[in-house]
Amino acid sequence: MKKIIIPVDFSQHSEYALEAAALLAKKYNSELIVMHMLELSESIFSSSSSERNEETAFMLMVTNKKFESFLDKPYLEGISITPMIKNHKVLKEVDEVASDLKADLIVMGSRGHSDHDGVFIGSNTEKVVRHSKTPLLVVKSKLENIDFKHILLATDFSSESATAAKTAMALLSKLGNKVTLLHVNLPGQHFSSTDEIEEKISNFLSETNHEDWKDNIVLISDYNVEEAILKYANKHDINAIGMITEGRTGLSHLFGGSISEDLVNHSKLPVFTFRE
């Protein structure tokens, strides 16, 4: 894990993300790229060139001062850190920067839907979850360590998720002593018989070339995927949850919803997401 990107708005939850990233950096000797997006006022885009330059210069000065105090933390000592400022608050830039720098992970802080302060909360976090091709870790609170005893990876065992599952297992196996692959069987049109599930798992293990995952698979039945995952995590002392996202947009996303985004907003545990 060579490079980790942390988008920050200098809030407390951004610092939770920074601390989590620092733990990873110390373990894997990673570089941290701490990124802030300037929130330029709408009026600046209709102002003169000189006015735009003045406001941008002022915002840069303020941000640099914030960076100085935000990055002046004992837990960052000995870590390679690169501050980065982007001109606009465009969430897709997070993934673009991660892709350009060949980052291994994005770490973000989030408070979920129930709160209203901070930049990277609620729908903004969802946008990064939905579009990021780089693995993402979302944290809600201060992590004491990143040596997770038991991580849960939820999957539907589809062919489309096979590549993402290999990426997920490669990372999560480093971070956790045990990784359980969980499949939730739903009633109605999503219901699968025992034979159908077994065939899907067999094909999935063959596509991933990981027959060794077979003993780590757990199958449960419930009415709701998100609730089933959270209940299982609570009952089995899970330390972190992993999800494979579809990256849906438009009407499909609007009417279908996203289990990954719901989990990011409602789970108190750290959540990893991996894009198909």
Give, in words, the CATH class of 3-139: alpha beta
User: What's the pLDDT score for residue 117?
Assistant: 43
User: What's the pLDDT score for residue 119?
Assistant: 42
Side-chain-facing half-sphere of 90: CA atoms under 13 Å: 8
Give the C-alpha separation, 5 to 74, whole Å. 19
In the chain, the percentage of residues whose pLDDT exceeds 90 is 53
Q: Can you read off the two tokens belonging to residue 151? A: 């991580």
CA distances in angstroms from 261 to 69, 183, 230, 256, 272, listed in the order given:
32, 18, 13, 12, 11
pLDDT over 90 (residue 42): no
What phi and psi values does residue 63 have, to the nearest 5 degrees? -65, -40
> Is there a shared CATH topology between the 3-139 domain and the 148-275 domain?
yes
148-275: in CATH 3.40.50.620: yes
pLDDT over 60 (residue 48): no
Beta bridge partners of 181: 153, 217
Summarised one tens digit per residue, pLDDT across range 103-153 is: 999 999 887 544 444 444 445 666 777 778 899 999 999 998 898 999 999
Instruction: Map out the domains of the chain as residue ranges.
Output: 3-139, 148-275
